[in-house]
Amino acid sequence: MKSILISVILSIIIAVPVFAKQNINVIINGEKQYTKEYNINFNKNDIIPFSVRHIAEKLGYHVHFNNDTNTLYIIENSCILYENETLGIGFIAPDECQNNYYKILENEYDNYTVIQFLDAETDMLIFSFAYIDLEYWDDEMKESFSIPYTEIFKNNDTLLLSVSVSDVQYDTNDTEQKNRYLKLLHFKQKICDNIYTFQY
């Protein structure tokens, strides 16, 4: 997995054995990013905090923080299969899953959003996710929801479900199409295992 998950750590720290006030240059891949003055203890190495977001984004990563779990996500851009900043969720592509395998569609409603994963070649629906207002789910949807689903996560306000397809999406006489469907369905659990949530 190319993504990096760092829990609780909110800054990168670098020990620098210098004295008094020092200008520290931050250079990434030979390109100077910025210079900042720090007060350095004369008698011992000091710890200098640097912005994780600033440095990671310069290196081609997305940076997100989840306040509920005190988790910092640093994710290589090419690994992101889907991300919705409004909802605060994203899916990381499994190593063996190319991003162009799926066509991802969003359908927004008043109290929930459905995220559909379709085969990019045939438009077969492989699986879906439903991001639902928790109160609406409990009061209006839960008892009548008949499609098989798995709860991925829940907080005080929202719920994310992985929703199975309720009918056969491929021609049962077409072996090639069936095998492609099963191949894309195979990635579902790995995608579920690598969902990240964040706040702005």
**pLDDT tens digit sequence for 176-188:** 999 999 999 999 9
Average pLDDT for the chain:
83
Strands 61-66 and 125-133: unpaired
Please check whether residue 164 is in contact with residue 56, taking contact to mean a CB–CB distance below 8 angstroms. Answer: no
Q: Map out the domains of the chain as residue ranges.
A: 4-197
Question: Of 193, 161, 163, 168, which Cα lies nearest the Cα of 182?
Answer: 168
Q: What are the pLDDT digits (tens) for 21-78?
A: 777 777 766 677 777 776 655 555 555 666 778 788 888 888 888 887 788 888 988 8
Distance linking the first and last C-alpha atoms of the chain = 25
What is the CB neighbour count within 10 angstroms for residue 150? 12
Query: Which pair of tokens denotes residue 82?
Result: 């889907």
**Sheet order of strands, 80-84 included:** 80-84, 89-92, 195-197
> Of all residues in the chain, what percent carry a pLDDT higher than 70?
80
